[in-house]
Structure 1
Amino acid sequence: MANKVVHTRELIQEVNLELVNTDADTNRVIAVSDINRPGLPLAGFLKYHAVERVQIIGKTEMEFLLSLPEDLRKKRLMGLCASEQTPCLVVSRGQQIPECLFEIVSLQKLPLLRSELATTKLAGRITRFLDQNLAPETLVHGVLVDVYGIGILIQGASGIGKSETALELVKRGHRLVADDAVEISQIEDNILVGTTPPLLKYLLEIRGLGVLNVMTLFGAGAVRTHKKIEMLIKLEAWKDEVAYDRLGLDEEKVRILGTDLTCVTIPVRPGRNLAVIIEVAAMNQRLKRMGYNAARELSEKLLKTLGDDAEMKG
């Protein structure tokens, strides 16, 4: 999986920033979503200066900069702007650009951007854009559905019935996110969001019928463009020799992009209504999220009953 990057020109367009020095190199690469307010570099401490981050100059930094003698101001700005790894400088609150700052960024071809937004709002908007576009991604085979608000990724061997199950769930009022291929992004620690490749948007393939457009058939309420993934359900052909979990005490986990997902294996055989089983799995997951675990409660009751019986016999 290749590391993702965005370019300064994309940041300018998406966050609606003004490019002050129009001859700057807007092809500079942004590879990290963290931003930096360069208070210490402007004070002369450059040892741990994060040159690879977007640099935001707020009112505090600007007032400090203007308070410096002109020679020292130029020296500090040269240190701030020296690295070719620095993607851009962004000035908030529509502040006036000091002439020496304009001269130095022009010399270095470093993009100098400006926004009318307050510093905190500007930093939040830039961070959200970078988080979305630099998030680690992977592509998996499966079907993603939204069932009772729970994003469920359904996986299994080809022909096991994933798409047919998704179709039944859509008919029962749930929503399709992606069929066949699911793009998964880790937008935050332990948060995975799934979407569909643009070419397959709203499409569902059913053997014997072909490709169906779910939004056209069932309406806009039957589809979603993206959904947080909270659960993985694996469908596999029923094997008589396998002892399947009947209590649900031991939760299996599967790791995707460093995030652990609850995984449930459902054996498939004629007569089992997979859509209903998945609905119940989603409702049970919601209860667990609220702190109620039926299997654990049953286990505790059994242990208590066995303990009481042992005391009575003793």
Structure 2
Amino acid sequence: MIDSLQSVVDQTGPQLKLRWLTAVPARELPLRGDAPEQAQHSLIGSLNCIHPNRLQVIGRPEQLYLKTLGSTAYGETINKLFADRPAAVIFTDGIEPDADIRERAAHAQTPLLGSSLGDQDLINHLRYFLTHALAERKTLHGVFIEVLGMGVLLIGDPAVGKSELALDLITRGHRIIADDAPRFARIAPEVVEGTCPETLRDFLEVRGLGILNIRAMFGEGAVMRNKTLNLIIDLQPLDHQQLACIDRLSGSLSVMNVLGLAVPKITMPVAPGRNLAILVEAAVRHQILRIRGYDAGVDFIDRQARAIGQDRPDPPGTRR
């Protein structure tokens, strides 16, 4: 996992043409910062002394701005820049920092980096990279699969039939992302993305058959590297009393908290003779309609109310 300045430079340096303008720090520098207030700072952005970034970027516009400042204002700005203890200051567009900045950086023990890329190109690339690399993560037990364009996590007790259902869905043209231990990361306020650990990629364990290589068996189109989590289906063997408690109109729709995000969850009864693959497809289609603003249960209730209103007899004494 990327969590230090040195690891970011190692991972992105060749692509973003990053180079050290000062000596490589002897100790690992955390990107989040040690102090609580530093952990709240945005990760990267153009020079900002009011709301500091952990990686402060100085490009041509910032360089021109600094040159317009008088000596007093310039000194105050540079002092504020390094007093906020950024993880590093990055100079873009091939800009070389002047001797004064180098001296103050050395005194504050703040690394300086340089790149020949433009400031916005560098910021956009690094922001995307850091958003994914530093996202909060969680591993859930289940099978993560894409069904009709939606990321569906199949969960349930061991041996309930998750892998067999996933295999059935794959044969129907859907794609698997991860079996057994999909890893999820919250990459945006309303987005949780799931992927597969490298060692488990392409494999699916089915009891009685062992480990299957889905890519080798079904081809490249049967697997995916990552997908947004849209729906959770909890496979549960329910008795008659539990089935009777399920709402006949709205079903078993609820939510499950994943990394602080409420993800729709459907409890799907497992019983002999039920075609779970078709039911999963129907559940996904139903959820897509909900996202678009249509709820069949509400529509049904409204239709019944209209029918009752039309059949209601007129009150006594009312003329037609």
TM-score interval, smaller chain: 0.7 to 0.9
- Percent identical among aligned pairs is 31
Alignment partners' CA distance in 1, 2:149 and 2:249: 24
Once the two structures are TM-superposed, the CA of residue 295 in structure 1 deviates from its matched residue by 1.9
- 1:33-182 equivalences under 5 Å are 34-39=43-48, 41=49, 49-50=51-52, 53-70=54-71, 73-83=74-84, 85-182=85-182
**Aligned equivalent of 2:275, options 270, 273, 277:** 273
Deviation string 1:209-233 (CA, Å, 9 cap, x unpaired) is 1111111111111011111010010
1:6 counterpart SS class: coil
Q: 2:7 maps to which residue?
A: 10
Once the two structures are TM-superposed, the CA of residue 296 in structure 1 deviates from its matched residue by 1.7
Deviation string 1:49-95 (CA, Å, 9 cap, x unpaired) is 53x61111132221122233456534532331245x42111122222
Q: 1:30 maps to which residue?
A: 31
Alignment partners' CA distance in 2, 1:178 and 1:312: 61
Query: Comparing both chains, which one has the higher relative contact order based on Cα–Cα distances under 8 Å and sequence gaps of 6 or more?
Result: 1
Once the two structures are TM-superposed, the CA of residue 163 in structure 1 deviates from its matched residue by 0.4
CA RMSD of aligned residues (A): 2.2
Once the two structures are TM-superposed, the CA of residue 313 in structure 1 deviates from its matched residue by 5.9
Q: Which runs of 5+ in 1 are unaligned?
A: 42-47
Once the two structures are TM-superposed, the CA of residue 283 in structure 1 deviates from its matched residue by 1.6
Deviant stretches of 4+, over 4 Å: 69-72, 311-314
Alignment partners' CA distance in 1, 2:199 and 2:125: 29
**Aligned equivalent of 1:253, options 227, 252, 255:** 255
Alignment partners' CA distance in 1, 2:281 and 2:206: 21
Once the two structures are TM-superposed, the CA of residue 109 in structure 1 deviates from its matched residue by 3.4
1:269 counterpart SS class: coil
Q: Number of aligned pairs?
A: 302
Whether the 8 Å CA contact 2:5–2:29 is kept in 1: the answer is: yes
Alignment partners' CA distance in 2, 1:238 and 1:206: 23
Whether the 8 Å CA contact 2:22–2:113 is kept in 1: the answer is: no
Alignment partners' CA distance in 2, 1:231 and 1:21: 47
Q: State which drifts further: 292-301 or 160-169.
A: 292-301
TM-score by length of 1: 0.88
The aligned amino acid for 2:247 is D
Once the two structures are TM-superposed, the CA of residue 123 in structure 1 deviates from its matched residue by 1.7
Question: Quick one: structure 1 residues 311 and 23, their matched pair in 2 at CA, closer, same or farther if it must change by over 3 Å?
Answer: farther
Once the two structures are TM-superposed, the CA of residue 198 in structure 1 deviates from its matched residue by 1.7
Whether the 8 Å CA contact 2:46–2:119 is kept in 1: the answer is: no
Alignment partners' CA distance in 2, 1:249 and 1:207: 30
Q: 1:45 maps to which residue?
A: none
Deviation string 1:254-307 (CA, Å, 9 cap, x unpaired) is 111111111111101100011111011112222222232222211111122223
Alignment partners' CA distance in 2, 1:300 and 1:261: 27
Once the two structures are TM-superposed, the CA of residue 174 in structure 1 deviates from its matched residue by 0.5
Alignment partners' CA distance in 1, 2:169 and 2:115: 46
Deviation string 1:120-156 (CA, Å, 9 cap, x unpaired) is 2222212111110111111111111000101001110
Q: Which runs of 5+ in 2 are unaligned?
A: 33-38
Q: State which drifts further: 63-72 or 108-117.
A: 63-72
Once the two structures are TM-superposed, the CA of residue 185 in structure 1 deviates from its matched residue by 0.5
Alignment partners' CA distance in 1, 2:187 and 2:20: 31
Q: State which drifts further: 89-98 or 147-156.
A: 89-98
The aligned amino acid for 2:181 is A
TM-score by length of 2: 0.86
Alignment partners' CA distance in 2, 1:312 and 1:199: 72
Alignment partners' CA distance in 2, 1:90 and 1:97: 10
Whether the 8 Å CA contact 1:23–1:109 is kept in 2: the answer is: no
- 1:189-268 equivalences under 5 Å are 189-242=189-242, 243=244, 244-248=246-250, 251-268=253-270
Question: Quick one: structure 1 residues 312 and 211, their matched pair in 2 at CA, closer, same or farther if it must change by over 3 Å?
Answer: farther
Alignment partners' CA distance in 2, 1:61 and 1:118: 12
